[in-house]
A and B are shown apart, each in its own frame.
Chain A
Amino acid sequence: MATPQLAQSRRRFLADTARMAGGCAVAGLGLAYVARDARALPADALRPPGALAEDDFLGACIRCGLCVRDCPFDTLKLAELGTDGPATGTPYFTARTVPCEMCDDIPCVAACPTGALDPALDDIDDARMGTAVLVDQENCLNFHGLRCDVCYRVCPAIDAAITLEASHDERSGHHAIFAPTVHAGHCTGCGLCEKSCVLPEAAIKVLPVRLARGEAADHYRRGWEEKEKNGAPLVDGLIDLPDRLPGPGTDNLAAPGGFEPAYKLPGGRR
């Protein structure tokens, strides 16, 4: 049997412990909530080259600012408390303000003491800070038929990350449109295109990859690629059924009332 004093001190101990645990549970939930909330990186804030995926980055970046110090172009800055930006104290840049100049020796990655900027990144061309997207064809000068081409010209991976794709200008009827076209496989997200877009608000923008890109399902296969890999059709003995043609009564290839295809595939196959 516990003596009254012991019972009383046990009661006090339990009450104190419960109070502390309760307070800490509230504080901890609040802290975890704020910490999770800080994950919502604004779309125009780009992480330095080699940055881990945002979830991992926030567990790895100690906010020391060494990458910022070693950035020779003052591209990187530390997020301010209270502004509606990235988690406080973490490094980021805004392409339209100062883009990444893609240093060959990647000093920011070399400076990072924690691996939040992945030291395995040894070729800046492999960096994926974001992906450029031509977000506004309606205002892009090239889509009006002009030869602005600035984003294409400044791209450090010119003719790989951005190409100009010619097509007929339906408006004038006898000109070409040279559409700046981003090829995400080569785009590092450095932001030079967005920085140099001549419009008051850039028509091409670097977005975080999660916003810029879709993703094909794992099981999707492109038949033509598989066929080429295989060197032959994957399934033998396919029956080539007649193609449907426009016009009335088109179910027959002989097609009274239809018409012959204007273009035939080389080798006579349709």
Chain B
Amino acid sequence: MSTHAQLPVGFEALETKGWIGSRRYLLLRRASQLFFLALFLTGPLFGFWIAKGTLAGSLTLDFLPLADPLVALQSIAAGHWLTATALTGALIVLAAYVLLGGRAYCAWVCPINPVTDAAHWMHRRLDLPKGWQPKRSARYWLLGTVLTASFASGTIAWEILNPVTMVHRGLVFGLSAAWLVVAAVFLFDLFVSRRGWCGHLCPVGAFYGLIGKTSILRVSAPKRAACDDCMDCYAVCPENQVISPALKGSPGTSPIILAGDCTNCGACIDVCAQDVFRFTHRFDRRLAEPPSQFAAEQSAASLMHKE
């Protein structure tokens, strides 16, 4: 492990890229989360309706219907064939996330993300033990369970508990109990299980992860040869098992992070002082030219020459 690994996480990025530069995607994500919430809030707050409804189902500008595909799937599992409006809406959302990376929903839209991010921030500040860490695959099991429960009970089962839609509904419709859900998820992630909710359990994230397996927009590590093993990306990535195949892949392997678990949050891009990572499409397998021995010697020689 390199000596860089002993520096605090994000220290080098802050030094080389500045405060804004080392937080670009974080700031963009917060702006995006606020934006998607604001779409639903302008109506109730100012009487100017952009998006009506909630993340489970909505109507934007009185013509664009959207629906959560997982909720739609549960409804179908429960034995209700949705009418065309909701089906169309669910397919539009499905198509959007197939292109943008399924779990981009988690990082850029979901109202629970700031909650679990805050929990993780505090978790690091307090240096708490990571606690219960169920397998990453637990969420897929839970997803199966949710669909089975919908089928067995004839109800949209997950909507009884789903913190995502519950908090969004609470924010948009002013329901006070949403704060209990926020508190529960926060405390769970802080004291029970580090990154537990979004990273291990949430079946909504699992569902979007499955969609995202084929997504076009991806993070790549084209300059992986420049990696100095500071490990900062592993420290900030909420799904850091996805990094290694791309970053540490043997020569000839793809530098693209192809795992559906990747949330396209861009934290690795922000934190890397060497600018190893960037957003690109999934077919862009280009690698930046590794700094060759010759070039390195040349620059060293020119430096010496100057002196």
Which positions in A face B, CB cutoff 8 Å?
A: 16, 20-21, 23-25, 27-28, 31-32, 34-36, 38-39, 55-56, 58-66, 68-70, 78, 80-83, 87-89, 111-116, 119
Contact = CB atoms under 8 A, between A and B. Distances in A.
Nearest to A81: B177
A64 B142 contact: no
Given A24-B142, A27-B145, A59-B80, A38 B57 contact: no
A89 B152 CA distance: 21
21 contacts: A24-B141, A25-B145, A27-B145, A32-B152, A35-B157, A59-B150, A60-B75, A60-B82, A62-B86, A63-B165, A78-B169, A80-B175, A81-B177, A82-B180, A89-B166, A111-B59, A113-B82, A113-B83, A114-B82, A114-B85, A115-B80
A55 B181 CA distance: 26
Contact of A62 (B81, B144, B159, B161): B159
B221 interface: no
Contact of A64 (B54, B135, B170): B54
B144 A24 contact: yes
A217 B158 CA distance: 38
Contacts of B176: 80
A87 B71 CA distance: 15
A115 B71 contact: no
B154 to A, nearest CB: 5
Given A23-B138, A31-B146, A32-B153, A113 B59 contact: yes
A82 B150 CA distance: 21
A114 to B, nearest CB: 4
Contacts of B172: 65
Contact of A114 (B86, B137, B145, B159): B86
A186 to B, nearest CB: 28
B159 A59 contact: no
Contacts of B153: 31-32, 35-36
B57 A88 contact: no
Contacts of A25: 145
Given A20-B138, A69-B53, A81-B166, A88 B160 contact: yes
Interface of B: 43, 52-54, 56-59, 65, 67-68, 71-72, 75, 78-83, 85-86, 89, 134-135, 137-138, 141-142, 144-146, 148-150, 152-161, 165-166, 169-170, 172-173, 175-178, 180-181
Contacts of B59: 66, 111, 113
Contacts of B180: 81-82
Given A38-B155, A119-B83, A81 B178 contact: yes
A63 B83 contact: no
A64 B80 contact: no
A20 B144 CA distance: 11
B155 A58 contact: yes
A215 to B, nearest CB: 22
Nearest to B82: A114
A78 B173 contact: yes
A58 B156 CA distance: 6
A59 B56 contact: no
Nearest to A38: B160
User: What are the 7 tightest A-B residue pairs by CB atom distance, in nearest-first order?
Assistant: A64-B57, A59-B78, A81-B177, A115-B83, A113-B85, A58-B155, A60-B80
A30 to B, nearest CB: 9
A56 B155 CA distance: 8
